[in-house]
Chain A
Amino acid sequence: GENVEQHPSTLSVQEGDSAVIKCTYSDSASNYFPWYKQELGKRPQLIIDIRSNVGEKKDQRIAVTLNKTAKHFSLHITETQPEDSAVYFCAASMGGGSYIPTFGRGTSLIVHP
């Protein structure tokens, strides 16, 4: 089955700095890669996703890159703000009718004001 590795497990940055979280996956058939933000005690929320037919996607301060050859994808947050502090999860799946995501272990991002 699919295996998703996520690094780092914790990331501490100063407000205004950039943050990068990296994930690797094992199954070359995976073609859908979402990222979720989970604030303490709340549900994970989809913040951005990328499909295997593109290499990069950007939404304001958040961007995701995908390298299919190397089987890794990354989340980039620029101009971080304290409200970005949360746990971020990456996931990989094959999509289609039997979409079953495999999650990374999560990254706890702390943005210091």
Chain B
Amino acid sequence: GAVVSQHPSRVICKSGTSVKIECRSLDFQATTMFWYRQFPKQSLMLMATSNEGSKATYEQGVEKDKFLINHASLTLSTLTVTSAHPEDSSFYICSAGREAFFGQGTRLTVV
């Protein structure tokens, strides 16, 4: 199947700093990518839809100024968690492609 690569897999940052997560489609072009957040033992919660060349579409309740999404090319989308706080600690995962091929996920811990 198609390959989606996400980086970094783990990150620990201090409160108030920003963290950038990258999602790349390695062997196909993706005009649309999706960003999810997953709490322990819970399902995948769609945060936003990343659209190449245009603004991301955010789900209700997701702060667009806090979770900045950029989809600069057909193979790369980035999620930046700005001014991170401990409550932002979570597992973030991206997907692309019709069959939703997922990246490896990023475990963010804010201390």
Q: Which one of A44, A95, A104, A106 lies within 8 Å of B98 (CB-CB)?
A: A95
> Which residue on B lies nearest to A6, using beta carbons?
B43
> Which residue on A lies nearest to B104, using beta carbons?
A43
Interface size on A, residues (CB 8 A): 25
Interface size on B, residues (CB 8 A): 19
Contact B43 A105 (CB under 8 A): yes
- Which residues of chain B come closer than 8 Å to A43, judged between CB atoms? 93, 102-105
Contact A46 B101 (CB under 8 A): yes
Within 67-106 of A, Cβ neighbours of B (below 8 Å) are at 87, 89, 91, 95, 97-106
Q: Which of A's residues lie within 8 Å of B, judged by CB?
A: 32, 34, 36, 41-46, 49, 87, 89, 91, 95, 97-106, 108
Q: Which of B's residues lie within 8 Å of A, judged by CB?
A: 1, 32, 34, 41-44, 46, 49, 93, 98-105, 107
